Amino acid sequence: MFRMWGKIWKNNHLIKDTVIEISDYSMTRTQKVFHSLDEICSQFDLEKPIWLDANILEFQRHDKTRFSQDNFIELLDFQYLEIQIIEE
C-alpha cells in the first residue's frame, strides 16, 4: 500500500491535512506520487504545483517536499503545501 500525506501550513500551524492511499500495484512509484498529488490538490481545491529542481532533489532524498508560493501561479492564503510519503 502506498500512502502520501498532504499538509497545508500557515504561520507554523497545520491548517489542513489528508492521506491518500493507493493499492494499485501496477502503477509505478512516479505515477503514484503524481496521482496522489493530484488527489491532494483536488481535495484542497488547489491548482497543481510546479516541480522546481529543489523540490525534486528534496523529494528524492527525503520522500518529502514543500511547495510554496514560488510553485503556484495563483496567490496562496497559506505558507506552503507539504507532501510526504508515509508508507510504500
Tens-place pLDDT, residues 11-59? 999 999 999 999 988 999 999 999 999 999 999 999 999 999 999 999 9
67, pLDDT greater than 90: yes
Q: How much is the pLDDT for 87? A: 86
Angstrom CA distances, 45 to 1, 51, 55, stand at 25, 18, 21
Q: How much is the pLDDT for 66? A: 96
Which residue type does 21 have?
E
Candidates 27, 64, 70, 67; CA nearest to 44 is 67
Half-sphere exposure of 42 (CA within 13 A, CB side): 8
pTM of the model: 0.89
Task: Tell me how far apart the alpha carbons of residues 81 and 72 are, in angstroms, rounded to a whole number.
Answer: 10
Return the CA Rg of the chain: 12
Q: How much is the pLDDT for 88? A: 79
